[in-house]
A and B are shown apart, each in its own frame.
Chain A
């Protein structure tokens, strides 16, 4: 969108520059300028005017080089600013949503207190074989679950993810595979390819699972009732050439590819926004990819999403491996 506009400006400038050159040439032609200069230099040969003329004519060469360098610097700075602004905009959005979620959580916590405490008191006052015991217990359990949901949203919006667990990547993947195979409908082929000896990651295995499951579930939803395939590749990679802006080191690389309908650029831009969803009301709250983003970031990793309409979607995730311990 932006680049096409810039290209247009470049073409316009080129046309203007060429026109100026042609006008100068025509002007010189009508004024017989070259003839004049030739005569002048021949007349005052002792002044060596030819050299001066040549010098003046070659001034644009270093000038053009300088302009080129400056414009390249300007473009670099411009791109950096744009990236910074986009990050800031995302942070602002996150913050606004965090405030919203925080306010909502506060209300809900207050509203849940009477439900949890009163149902608990009532249940404690009833003998276990009373038919009302189970009913009261159900209220208590459901309200306690709601409390956990609230604290999860709050934890998410305030940005605290605690990470002191480790997980065996291969084992987690095996569990995940089983789960995904159940979730995946028959019209979609799911392939999970993983290298051997993936080792451990400093991330809870539930979190690693959620990093993989969320994009896969999105892919399943995107493909819908069409025939399609989802491929998950997990490998251990060494990064030492600054690829994808990554620091040098060992990473676990997870790539999730699907051949679904892909996303529009508007959707792709907002994919990590919490509470952004393309699903119908009640079918998804829009926290999936936001959670993946948060988890990967807090593990010190990076993730990239590339998509094109009607060409599917690639989610690439890098999670840094902890410094080598006993494992080979």
Chain B
């Protein structure tokens, strides 16, 4: 990471969509401390609007959200042929989070993480997708 940044490669941009402010901030901190540029959105609608701007390498979206949930967001991202990779994250709901995440992967998420995850799990997944 250090070396590649030193080599003058531009920082990777990540869009983070989650309705829980504490989760949003925590994940931002994990990503920023590992050298990523992070933009945030608090629901799917806002997230999609931001995602329309070019330049995002990765989009991390929660599944269960008010306004527009993650599965809808994911579908619209894929319909808009957005080139960014997508990680779906979920804390479950009725049924286990695994079910939601499986659906997300079927809908086109590149990877999924069940909340709560540790920073090492997140960073491993992120590196795997965009480095």
Contacts and interface: CB of A to CB of B under 8 A. Distances in A.
B96 A160 contact: yes
Interface stretch (A111-119, A249-257, A260-268): A111-119
B48 interface: no
Contacts of B91: 105-110, 113
Contact of A106 (B25, B26, B64): B64
A79 to B, nearest CB: 34
Nearest to B120: A120
Interface in A66-81: none
Contacts, number: 80
A115 B117 CA distance: 10
A102 B115 CA distance: 13
A160 B118 CA distance: 25
Contacts of A112: 115-116
A155 interface: yes
Contacts of B54: none
Given A102-B93, A106-B91, A121 B33 contact: yes
Given A113-B23, A114-B26, A117-B30, A106 B93 contact: yes
A97 to B, nearest CB: 11
Interface in A91-149: 98-99, 102-103, 105-118, 120-121, 124, 140, 143, 147
Contacts of A160: 96
Given A102-B94, A105-B92, A110 B26 contact: no
A124 B120 CA distance: 10
Interface string A59-70: 000000000000
Interface residues of B, number: 26
A110 B95 contact: no
B29 interface: yes
A81 to B, nearest CB: 29
A117 B96 contact: no
Contacts of A115: 116
B119 interface: yes
Contacts of B42: none
A98 to B, nearest CB: 7
Contact of A120 (B23, B25, B119): B119
B74 interface: no
Given A103-B93, A114-B26, A117-B26, 6 more contacts: A106-B97, A113-B22, A113-B116, A116-B118, A118-B26, A154-B97
Interface of A: 98-99, 102-103, 105-118, 120-121, 124, 140, 143, 147, 151, 154-155, 158, 160
25 contacts: A102-B92, A102-B93, A102-B95, A109-B91, A109-B114, A110-B91, A110-B116, A113-B26, A113-B27, A113-B115, A113-B116, A114-B23, A114-B25, A117-B26, A117-B116, A117-B118, A117-B119, A117-B122, A118-B26, A140-B118, A147-B116, A154-B92, A154-B96, A158-B99, A160-B96
Interface of B: 20, 22-23, 25-27, 29-30, 33, 64, 91-97, 99, 114-120, 122
